[in-house]
Structure 1
Amino acid sequence: MDPNFSESLNGFEYFDGNPNFLTDPMEDQYPPPSDTLLKYVSEILMEESNGDYKQSMFYDSLALRKTEEMLQQVITDSQNQSFSPDSMITNSWDASGSIESAYSADLQIGLPVDEFMVKSVFSDAESALQFKKGVEEASKFLPNSDQWVINLDIERPERRGLVKEEMGLDQLRIKKNHEREIILDFEEVRSSKQFASNIEDGKITEMFDKVLLLDGECDPPTLLDSEIQAIRSSKNRGGKGKKKKCQVVDFRTLLTHCAQAISTGDKTTALDFLLQIRQQSSPLGDAGQRLAHCFANALEARLQGSTGPMIQNYYNAITTSLKDTAADTLKAYRVYLSSSPFVTLMYFFSIRMILEVAKDAPVLHIVDFGILYGFQWPMFIQYISGRNDVPRKLRITGIELPQCGFRPAERIEETGRRLAEYCKRFNVPFEYKAIASQNWETIGIEDLDIRPDEVLAVNAGLRLKNLQDETGSEENCPRDAVLKLIRNMNPDVFIHTVVNGSFNAPFFISRFKEAVYHYSALFDMFDSTLPRDNKERIRFEREFYGREAMNVIACEEADRVERPETYRQWQVRMVRAGFRQKPIKPELVELFREKLKKWRYHKDFVVDENSKWLLQGWKGRTLYASSCWVPA
Structure 2
Amino acid sequence: MTQFKKGLEEASKFLPNNNHLAINPEDGKWSSETKKGTTRMRIDEDTNMKSSSNGFKGLKNHGRDEDACEEGRANKQTALYTEESELSDLFDKVLLYTENGVGTCFGDESVETGLRKDKQPQRNKRGSSRGKGRGKKQGSKNTVDLGTLLILCAQAISTSDFRTAKELLKQVRENSSPFGDASQRMSHYFANGLEARLAGYNIRTQVFYSALVARTSSAADILKAYHLHISTCPFSQFSIFFANYMIFKFAEKATTLHIIDFGIAFGFQWPNLIQKLSSRPNRPCKLRITGIELPQSGLRPAERIEETGRRLKKYCERFDVPFEFNFIASRNWELIKLVDLKIQSNETVAVNCLDRFKNLLDETVEDNSPRDTVLKLIREVKPDIFVHAVRSGSYNAPFFATRFREALFHLSAIYDMLDATIDHNNKERLVIEREFHGQEIMNVIACEGSERIERPETYKQWQVRHIRAGFKALPLDQEFMKLFRCKMKAWYHKDFELDEDGNWMLQGWRGRIFYGSSCWVPT
Q: TM-score, normalised by structure 1?
A: 0.66
Q: Residues 521-562 of structure 1: CA distance to partner in whole angstroms, max 9, x if unpaired?
A: 110000000111111111210111110000000100011010
What is residue 379 of structure 2 aligned with on the other side? 487
Q: Is 1:253 equivalent to 2:253 in the alignment? A: no
What is residue 294 of structure 1 aligned with on the other side? 189
Distance in 1, Cα, partners of 2:164 & 2:324:
59
Alpha-carbon deviation of 1:396?
0.8
What is residue 6 of structure 1 aligned with on the other side? none
Percent of counterpart pairs with the same letter?
51
Equivalent residue in structure 2 for 1:619, among 504, 510, 516: 510
Change beyond 3 A, Cα 1:291–1:322: closer
Alpha-carbon deviation of 1:586?
2.6
Alpha-carbon deviation of 1:598?
2.8
Alpha-carbon deviation of 1:584?
1.1
Say whether the 8 Å CA contact 1:222–1:334 is kept in structure 2. Answer: no
What is residue 69 of structure 2 aligned with on the other side? none
Q: Is 1:266 equivalent to 2:218 in the alignment? A: no
Q: Which amino acid aligns with 1:449?
A: K
Change beyond 3 A, Cα 1:433–1:378: same
Say whether the 8 Å CA contact 1:503–1:514 is kept in structure 2. Answer: yes
Q: Indicate the larger mover: 226-235 or 423-432.
A: 226-235
Alpha-carbon deviation of 1:311?
5.5
| 3-state DSSP of counterpart to 1:580 | strand
Alpha-carbon deviation of 1:307?
9.9
| 3-state DSSP of counterpart to 1:207 | helix
Structure index of larger Rg: 1
Distance in 1, Cα, partners of 2:204 & 2:291:
28
Q: Residues 14-47 of structure 1: CA distance to partner in whole angstroms, max 9, x if unpaired?
A: xxxxxxxxxxxxxxxxxxxxxxxxxxxxxxxxxx
Distance in 2, Cα, partners of 1:63 & 1:382:
46
Distance in 1, Cα, partners of 2:474 & 2:284:
22
Distance in 2, Cα, partners of 1:332 & 1:343:
12
Change beyond 3 A, Cα 1:541–1:310: same
1:162-241 superposed matches below 5 A: 200-215=83-98, 216-220=100-104, 222=108, 224-225=110-111, 226-233=113-120, 235=122, 241=131
| 3-state DSSP of counterpart to 2:424 | coil
| 3-state DSSP of counterpart to 1:373 | coil
What is residue 12 of structure 2 aligned with on the other side? 60
Q: Residues 372-430 of structure 1: CA distance to partner in whole angstroms, max 9, x if unpaired?
A: 11000011111222222785221111111112233322211211111111111112121
What is residue 277 of structure 1 aligned with on the other side? 172
Alpha-carbon deviation of 1:283?
1.2
What is residue 441 of structure 1 aligned with on the other side? 334
| 3-state DSSP of counterpart to 2:500 | strand
Q: Which amino acid aligns with 1:532?
A: H
Q: Residues 79-134 of structure 1: CA distance to partner in whole angstroms, max 9, x if unpaired?
A: xxxxxxxxxxxxxxxxxxxxxxxxxxxxxxxxxxxxxxxxxxxxxxxxxxxxxxxx
| 3-state DSSP of counterpart to 1:456 | strand
Distance in 2, Cα, partners of 1:311 & 1:473:
23
Say whether the 8 Å CA contact 1:459–1:494 is kept in structure 2. Answer: yes
| 3-state DSSP of counterpart to 1:270 | helix
Q: Is 1:368 equivalent to 2:258 in the alignment? A: no
1:372-451 superposed matches below 5 A: 372-388=265-281, 392-451=285-344
Q: Which amino acid aligns with 2:12?
A: D
Alpha-carbon deviation of 1:302?
0.5
Alpha-carbon deviation of 1:496?
0.6
Distance in 1, Cα, partners of 2:395 & 2:76:
43
What is residue 22 of structure 2 aligned with on the other side? none
| 3-state DSSP of counterpart to 1:359 | coil
1:542-553 superposed matches below 5 A: 542-553=434-445
Change beyond 3 A, Cα 1:624–1:270: same
| 3-state DSSP of counterpart to 2:497 | strand
| 3-state DSSP of counterpart to 1:204 | helix
Alpha-carbon deviation of 1:214?
1.7
Change beyond 3 A, Cα 1:615–1:373: same
Say whether the 8 Å CA contact 2:196–2:208 is kept in structure 1. Answer: no
Q: Which amino acid aligns with 1:266?
A: D
| 3-state DSSP of counterpart to 1:396 | strand
| 3-state DSSP of counterpart to 1:253 | helix
Distance in 2, Cα, partners of 1:308 & 1:447:
40
Distance in 2, Cα, partners of 1:458 & 1:538:
33
Alpha-carbon deviation of 1:59?
7.4
Q: Which amino acid aligns with 1:401?
A: L
Distance in 2, Cα, partners of 1:482 & 1:308:
36
Alpha-carbon deviation of 1:227?
3.8
Equivalent residue in structure 1 for 2:353, among 452, 460, 463: 460
Q: Which amino acid aligns with 1:217?
A: G
What is residue 223 of structure 2 aligned with on the other side? 330
What is residue 304 of structure 1 aligned with on the other side? 199
Distance in 2, Cα, partners of 1:308 & 1:206:
47
Say whether the 8 Å CA contact 1:496–1:627 is kept in structure 2. Answer: yes
Structure that is richer in helix per residue: 1
Q: Which sections of structure 1, spanning at least 5 residues, go unmatched?
A: 1-51, 66-179, 186-191
Q: Which amino acid aligns with 1:259?
A: A
Say whether the 8 Å CA contact 2:95–2:103 is kept in structure 1. Answer: no
Say whether the 8 Å CA contact 2:94–2:103 is kept in structure 1. Answer: no
What is residue 458 of structure 2 aligned with on the other side? 566
| 3-state DSSP of counterpart to 1:497 | strand
Q: TM-score, normalised by structure 2?
A: 0.80
Equivalent residue in structure 1 for 2:132, among 215, 224, 242: 242
Equivalent residue in structure 1 for 2:424, among 532, 543, 566: 532
Distance in 2, Cα, partners of 1:560 & 1:250:
28
Distance in 2, Cα, partners of 1:329 & 1:353:
26
Count of residues in correspondence between the two structures: 454
Change beyond 3 A, Cα 1:535–1:450: same
C-alpha RMSD of the superposition: 3.3
Larger relative contact order (Cα-Cα within 8 Å, sequence gap ≥ 6): 2
Distance in 2, Cα, partners of 1:323 & 1:380:
27
1:350-361 superposed matches below 5 A: 350-361=243-254
Distance in 1, Cα, partners of 2:14 & 2:306:
33
| 3-state DSSP of counterpart to 1:416 | helix
Say whether the 8 Å CA contact 1:607–1:617 is kept in structure 2. Answer: yes
| 3-state DSSP of counterpart to 1:627 | strand
Distance in 2, Cα, partners of 1:391 & 1:543:
37
Q: Which amino acid aligns with 1:214?
A: Y
Alpha-carbon deviation of 1:325?
4.3
Change beyond 3 A, Cα 1:462–1:182: farther
Alpha-carbon deviation of 1:237?
9.4
Q: Which amino acid aligns with 1:291?
A: M
Distance in 1, Cα, partners of 2:448 & 2:381:
33
Q: Indicate the larger mover: 306-315 or 401-410.
A: 306-315
